[in-house]
Chain A
């Protein structure tokens, strides 16, 4: 086997984990509030499309981000309207959003730009580009720590750093604010919230809006930071991997980040192993490595995490007794 380039795997781990972190945190907010959010994938895709279109039209990545967030929040509100106001089945609503996202973005992309569902490639100025930290290039040659600083810490776009900031911020909101206390309560026992004189509906809506904002960041990252435009179905199941990470992390912010990094690492490792040969085995088909994250997801969810204490009221629309 050729040199296992740990630094470059870690660098790409970070890049691949970011959309997972944003998306899993989004799911954290809705699911802790007792609304299942299987439509994370679709929200991501919608916001990627919105961000790419607006960034292309305006040439501004920030307006792209704003558009990504707005689109994602709107979709969240649709989910909320179905699941909270009309007490519909939350899974069905989420699945519908996923189908809608996959189809509508491709159709609109084709109708507007005629490039097979893609949006036109973005100029560098219309994207979020790498931020190089001070002394990164100087330190690149100075041993492991220097390379770690230059390739893993430095050299990412602003959304990457935002994602890592979002983790402690989410923790703080959930565990140190009134909103967080009520949000966690409504996901466990909405009756307790209702009898305390707080509106269950409005609280759950606010949670889905939080999720919309975070999902907007993740879609934007896909379209105008990691890539230079929207590509049909570019979320490629990341919304579901994020959901798996969320369950694996038992709905807690910091473990969510660690789980996402693990899934990101597996993805990065799979990329790295493409075309490489293993000693004694020879070349392993690339599909094996690509399947690894999904296999691990199944294994972890099936056996490893033990009892996942899901929010008790998850998936159940709130109806006053009788």
Chain B
């Protein structure tokens, strides 16, 4: 790689246009990416970042515009052409064959002949070389599905490098990683840049942009709105550019006015599907008009606790009371009639049916209510009118209640769930990971709605692995570790103290 500062940019996009039907995903995009730099592209979900990168990788075809690689205009009709031009991509959802070995995944598409023998041994030695050059260790014979997510992602990077990529596109690479894995990824990216590779990092997380990029471009609603040197910008400026207005990164809220106990959990024991005790004798109360946050590292029993309270999983022993009435073992439908609202941890698995229309999801779980139909028949017009009302009130985009839910962005999907649960006016709202995979504009919105619920005298139980979220929303924090509540703290408690408790070290 040349270190000549006057060298042509690694990538130049000029006037890129792309429409999907009525959706203008990319509007006249211009972008210049310098060689040997880490260039971040930030924007909310649905801003058109992934579309732009898919065009660069030959997955989609631009309607208009020009792509230049190292100064030379080229056409990229398919992924093969992108690979040939030295562009590699690490997709958000890994493009790996899960029951193949690392080696098989790396050579797929570049097998080096009709028979596998020779290509496999060549790849083996090439992998060793890449491992030494970039610190990308991975066992070439390991089966992908047995590897942790962080290593799977490493295989994706190796795939690209094995194909001779000089430009590496990473699409939301940290969405699936733990913080430690993400830090390790950033180190690897730093090494790659120092060796002359060019990296395009697509993300909606401001922290990552500030931590690792040299330059950052901001996209909003299909347009490239700004490009800044990372050192010369701030989180606040980027957030404003992304959303198009000033964003409060912290939630404003007054003091809580706790009232009567709404939810009471007594000595609850819950086992998971394998029969392992995940919740081991947990007791707590949630009062009307307060938010109780449950902090903890994922997998310490929070999910099972939520499932037991919301009637999805039967507890082994212990008691759950809502407004003093024992409800242990009630199913989810019956609990809803008693005033329970539930925003589940995983909107795809539990909160929504992605193939349904927005209007159908917007009444799901409450569809038996007389407002939505009579007897066995649903009143579809009533459902749609109701959905339109929620769409307006919660600013769900695109505002089309007949669209399949799968076509909404993550933030808007989450808003559909939030709208459904809150608008049913529950007296107890149980919330799991409310902003996982949600862009900052929507995060702010959802946080405000949760606080509004509290201020309206509802009891809110919040489970989140995002410590910031727990601290900014909760009035009381319970820390869970290994199935136990190891302590109760006020939200002013320092991050470090809570972190130690979450690790089971201090109480």
Contact = CB atoms under 8 A, between A and B. Distances in A.
Contacts of A185: 97, 100, 104, 108
A197 B95 contact: no
B355 to A, nearest CB: 13
Interface residues of B, number: 34
Contacts, number: 77
Interface string B103-117: 011011111011111
Interface in A121-147: none
Contacts of B113: 178
Interface of A: 176-182, 184-185, 188-189, 191-198, 309, 312, 320, 322
B111 A189 contact: no
Interface in B98-138: 98-100, 104-105, 107-111, 113-117, 119
Nearest to B105: A192
A191 B95 contact: yes
A197 B83 contact: yes
Given A188-B100, A195-B95, A179 B114 contact: yes
Contact of B115 (A178, A189, A322): A178
A192 B79 CA distance: 11
Given A178-B116, A198-B109, A189 B78 contact: no
A320 B57 CA distance: 13
B431 interface: no
B116 A176 contact: yes
- Identify the 3 closest CB pairs spanning chains A and B, nearest first: A196-B109, A197-B80, A192-B95
Given A194-B79, A195-B79, A181 B104 contact: yes
Given A196-B95, A322-B51, 20 more contacts: A177-B115, A177-B116, A178-B119, A180-B116, A181-B104, A181-B107, A181-B116, A185-B108, A188-B98, A189-B97, A192-B97, A195-B59, A195-B89, A196-B83, A196-B108, A196-B109, A197-B58, A197-B78, A197-B82, A198-B109
A179 B81 CA distance: 21
B96 A189 contact: yes
A197 B78 CA distance: 7
B99 A188 contact: yes
Nearest to B113: A178
Contacts of A197: 58, 78-83, 109
B105 A177 contact: no
18 contacts: A176-B116, A177-B114, A177-B116, A178-B111, A178-B119, A181-B107, A181-B111, A185-B97, A185-B108, A188-B97, A189-B96, A189-B97, A192-B108, A194-B95, A197-B58, A198-B80, A198-B108, A322-B20
A308 to B, nearest CB: 13
B95 A176 contact: no
Contacts of A177: 114-116
B91 interface: yes
B109 A189 contact: no
Interface in B25-56: 51
A236 to B, nearest CB: 35
A193 B82 CA distance: 14
